[in-house]
Structure 1
Amino acid sequence: MKYFITCLLAAATTATGFAQQSSLRLWYKSPASATTKDGGIQFKDDPAWLQALPLGNGNIGAMVFGDVNQERIQLNEKTLWNGSNGDNDNPEAAKYVPEIRNLLFQGKFKEATALTNKTQICKGAGSGHGNGSNVPFGTYQTLGDLRLDFGKNTPYTNYQRSLQLDDAIVRVSYEQDGVHYTREYFVSAPANVLAVRLSADKKGAISFSATLDRPERFTTKAAGKELIMSGALNNGKGGDGMKYMARLQARNKGGQVTCTGHELRVNNADEVVLYLSASTDYLPQYPVYKGRDFAGLTAKALQAATALPYAQLKQAHVKDYQRLYNRVSLQLSEDTSDDIPTDERLARMKTTGNDNRLTELYFQYGRYLLIASARKNTLPANLQGIWSNKILSPWNGDYHTNINVQMNYWPAEVANLGELHLSLTNFIQGIEKPATRSARVQFGAEGWCINPIVNVWGFTSPGEEPSWGLTTGASGWICQHLWEHYAFTRDTAYLRKVYPTLVEAARFYLSWLVKDPETGKLVSGPASSPENAFEAPDGSNGSISMGPSHDQEVIEELFTNVIQAANVLQQADPILVKLQEAKANLLQPQIGEDGRVMEWARPYPEKEPGHRHMSHLYALYPGYAFNEANTPRYVNAARKSLEYRLEHGGAQTGWSAAWVTNLWARLKNGPAALKAFNIILKDKSAANLFNLHPPFQIDGNFGATAGIAEMLLQSHENMVTLLPALPAEWKNGKVNGLCARGGYTVNMSWKEGRLEAATLHATKGGGCQVRYRDQIVVLNTEAGKDYQLDALLH
Structure 2
Amino acid sequence: MMSFKSNVLCCLVVLCSFMAFAQQPLQLWYTAPATQWEETLPLGNGRLGMMPDGGITQEKIVLNDITLWSGSSQDANNYEAHKSVKEIQRLLLAGRNDEAEALVNANFVCTGAGSGHGNGANVPFGCFQTLGELQIDYHHADDAHAYRRQLDLPSAIATTQFETNGIRYHREYFTSFGSDVGIIRLTADKRRSLDFSVTLTRDERAKIKTEGQELQLSGALSDGRGGIGMRYIARIRIQHQGGKLTVDDRALHLAGADEAILYVSIATDFRNTSHLTRSQSLMEAALKHAYQAEKQLHQTAFGKFFNRVSLEIDDKSTADLPTDERLRRFYERPAADNGLAALYFQYGRYLSICSTRPGLLPPNLQGLWAHQIQTPWNGDYHLNINAQMNHWPVEVANLSELHEPFIELIKTLAQEGKKTAKAYYNAPGWVCYMIANVWGYTAPGEEASWGASTASGWLCNHLWEHYLFTQDTAYLAEVFPILREAARFYHHTMIKEPRHGWLVTAPSVSPENSFLMANGKRTSVVMGPTIDNQIVRELYNNVLAAAEQLNIRDPFIDTLGMDLAHLPPPVQIGSDGRVMEWLEEYREPEPQHRHVSHLYGLYPAPFISPQTTPEWADAARKTLQVRGDAGTGWSRAWKILFWARLQDGNHALEILRQLLQPALGSEINMSGGSGGTYPNLFCAHPPFQIDGNFGGTAGIAEMLLQSHAGFIHLLPALPDAWSTGEVKGLKARGNYTVDIKWKDGTVVDYHIHSPTNKPVNVLVNGTMTVYNGE
Q: TM-score range by the shorter chain?
A: over 0.9
Residues of 1 paired with 2:275 and 2:446: CA distance? 34
Asked whether 1:480 is paired with 2:461, we answer: yes
Residues of 2 paired with 1:376 and 1:19: CA distance? 34
Deviates more, 1:678-687 or 1:705-714: 678-687
Asked whether 1:680 is paired with 2:659, we answer: yes
1:39-94 deviation per Cα after TM superposition (whole angstroms, max 9, x unaligned): xxxxxxxxx10110000011111111011111111011111111111120011211
Aligned-partner SS, 2:748 = strand
Aligned-partner SS, 1:327 = coil
Residues of 1 paired with 2:722 and 2:300: CA distance? 32
Equivalent of 1:268 in 245, 248, 256: 256
The one-letter amino acid of 2:742's match is W
Equivalent of 2:26 in 14, 24, 27: 24
Residues of 2 paired with 1:636 and 1:720: CA distance? 22
Number of residue pairs matched by the alignment: 746
Contact 1:19 1:328 in 2 (8 A): no
Trace 1:232-251 onto structure 2 (pairs within 5 A). Answer: 232-251=220-239
Asked whether 1:433 is paired with 2:425, we answer: no
Q: Structure 1 pair 26/413, CA: closer, same or farther in 2 (3 Å)? A: same
Which residue of 2 is the match for residue 721 of structure 1? 713
Shift of 1:495: 1.3
Q: What is the TM-score normalised by the length of structure 2?
A: 0.94
Which residue of 2 is the match for residue 40 of structure 1? none
Deviates more, 1:135-144 or 1:106-115: 106-115
Asked whether 1:525 is paired with 2:506, we answer: yes
1:406-429 deviation per Cα after TM superposition (whole angstroms, max 9, x unaligned): 000110011111111111111111
The one-letter amino acid of 1:676's match is I
Aligned-partner SS, 2:199 = strand
Which residue of 2 is the match for residue 764 of structure 1? 756
Residues of 1 paired with 2:45 and 2:608: CA distance? 37
Trace 1:144-183 onto structure 2 (pairs within 5 A). Answer: 144-183=132-171
Residues of 2 paired with 1:62 and 1:574: CA distance? 53
1:746-766 deviation per Cα after TM superposition (whole angstroms, max 9, x unaligned): 111111111111111113332
Residues of 1 paired with 2:142 and 2:739: CA distance? 52
Which residue of 2 is the match for residue 671 of structure 1? 650
Q: What is the TM-score normalised by the length of structure 1?
A: 0.92
Aligned-partner SS, 1:270 = strand
The one-letter amino acid of 2:524's match is S
Contact 2:21 2:314 in 1 (8 A): no
Equivalent of 2:557 in 558, 576, 580: 576
Shift of 1:224: 1.8
Residues of 1 paired with 2:694 and 2:700: CA distance? 10
Equivalent of 1:549 in 501, 505, 530: 530
1:349-385 deviation per Cα after TM superposition (whole angstroms, max 9, x unaligned): 3432442111111111000001110111110000010
Aligned-partner SS, 2:541 = helix
Shift of 1:98: 1.0
Shift of 1:336: 5.0
Which residue of 1 is the match for residue 43 of structure 2? 55
Asked whether 1:734 is paired with 2:696, we answer: no
Which residue of 2 is the match for residue 754 of structure 1? 746
1:152-178 deviation per Cα after TM superposition (whole angstroms, max 9, x unaligned): 443111110000011000011111222
Residues of 2 paired with 1:574 and 1:212: CA distance? 61
Aligned-partner SS, 1:431 = helix
Percent identity between the two aligned chains? 48
Which residue of 1 is the match for residue 367 of structure 2? 385
The one-letter amino acid of 2:265's match is S
Residues of 2 paired with 1:577 and 1:20: CA distance? 56
The one-letter amino acid of 1:326's match is N
Contact 2:730 2:738 in 1 (8 A): yes
Shift of 1:587: 1.6
The one-letter amino acid of 1:328's match is V
Which residue of 1 is the match for residue 63 of structure 2? 75
Which residue of 2 is the match for residue 604 of structure 1? 586
Contact 1:244 1:278 in 2 (8 A): yes
Aligned-partner SS, 1:254 = strand
Deviates more, 1:147-156 or 1:340-349: 147-156
Shift of 1:629: 4.0
The one-letter amino acid of 1:26's match is L
Deviates more, 1:428-437 or 1:154-163: 428-437
Shift of 1:5: 7.7
Shift of 1:337: 5.6
Which residue of 1 is the match for residue 16 of structure 2? none
Asked whether 1:653 is paired with 2:619, we answer: no
Residues of 1 paired with 2:207 and 2:5: CA distance? 69
Asked whether 1:450 is paired with 2:432, we answer: yes
The one-letter amino acid of 1:22's match is Q
Q: Structure 1 pair 236/80, CA: closer, same or farther in 2 (3 Å)? A: same
Contact 1:490 1:764 in 2 (8 A): no
- RMSD over aligned Cα, in angstroms? 1.8
Asked whether 1:420 is paired with 2:420, we answer: no
The one-letter amino acid of 2:479's match is V
Equivalent of 1:691 in 675, 683, 708: 683
Which residue of 1 is the match for residue 120 of structure 2? 132
Which residue of 1 is the match for residue 667 of structure 2? none
Shift of 1:192: 1.0
Contact 2:21 2:315 in 1 (8 A): no
Contact 2:746 2:765 in 1 (8 A): no
Contact 1:595 1:637 in 2 (8 A): yes
Equivalent of 2:210 in 222, 232, 236: 222
1:506-528 deviation per Cα after TM superposition (whole angstroms, max 9, x unaligned): 11111121112331110011000
Which residue of 2 is the match for residue 203 of structure 1? 191
Contact 2:22 2:315 in 1 (8 A): no
Residues of 2 paired with 1:211 and 1:497: CA distance? 48
Which residue of 1 is the match for residue 242 of structure 2? 254
Which residue of 2 is the match for residue 333 of structure 1? 314
Which residue of 2 is the match for residue 15 of structure 1? none
Shift of 1:541: 1.3
Contact 1:19 1:329 in 2 (8 A): no
1:455-483 deviation per Cα after TM superposition (whole angstroms, max 9, x unaligned): 111111000001000111x1111111111
Aligned-partner SS, 2:656 = helix
Which residue of 2 is the match for residue 642 of structure 1? 624
Aligned-partner SS, 1:162 = strand
The one-letter amino acid of 1:449's match is V
The one-letter amino acid of 1:743's match is N
Contact 1:353 1:682 in 2 (8 A): no
Shift of 1:534: 0.5
Contact 1:20 1:329 in 2 (8 A): no
The one-letter amino acid of 1:416's match is N
Trace 1:30-45 onto structure 2 (pairs within 5 A). Answer: 30-33=32-35
- For structure 2, the 5+ residue unaligned runs are 14-19, 663-675
Which residue of 2 is the match for residue 278 of structure 1? 266
Shift of 1:220: 1.1
Residues of 1 paired with 2:59 and 2:478: CA distance? 47
Contact 1:93 1:119 in 2 (8 A): yes
Q: Structure 1 pair 670/261, CA: closer, same or farther in 2 (3 Å)? A: same
Contact 2:5 2:751 in 1 (8 A): no
Residues of 1 paired with 2:109 and 2:630: CA distance? 29
Aligned-partner SS, 1:251 = strand
The one-letter amino acid of 1:417's match is L
Residues of 1 paired with 2:198 and 2:559: CA distance? 64
Shift of 1:311: 0.6
Q: Structure 1 pair 671/141, CA: closer, same or farther in 2 (3 Å)? A: same
Asked whether 1:316 is paired with 2:297, we answer: yes
1:638-659 deviation per Cα after TM superposition (whole angstroms, max 9, x unaligned): 111111111xxx5311111100
1:421-450 deviation per Cα after TM superposition (whole angstroms, max 9, x unaligned): 111111111222211111111331111111
Which residue of 1 is the match for residue 387 of structure 2? 405
Residues of 1 paired with 2:97 and 2:481: CA distance? 37
Shift of 1:582: 1.6
Aligned-partner SS, 1:256 = strand
Trace 1:276-315 onto structure 2 (pairs within 5 A). Answer: 276-283=264-271, 291-315=272-296
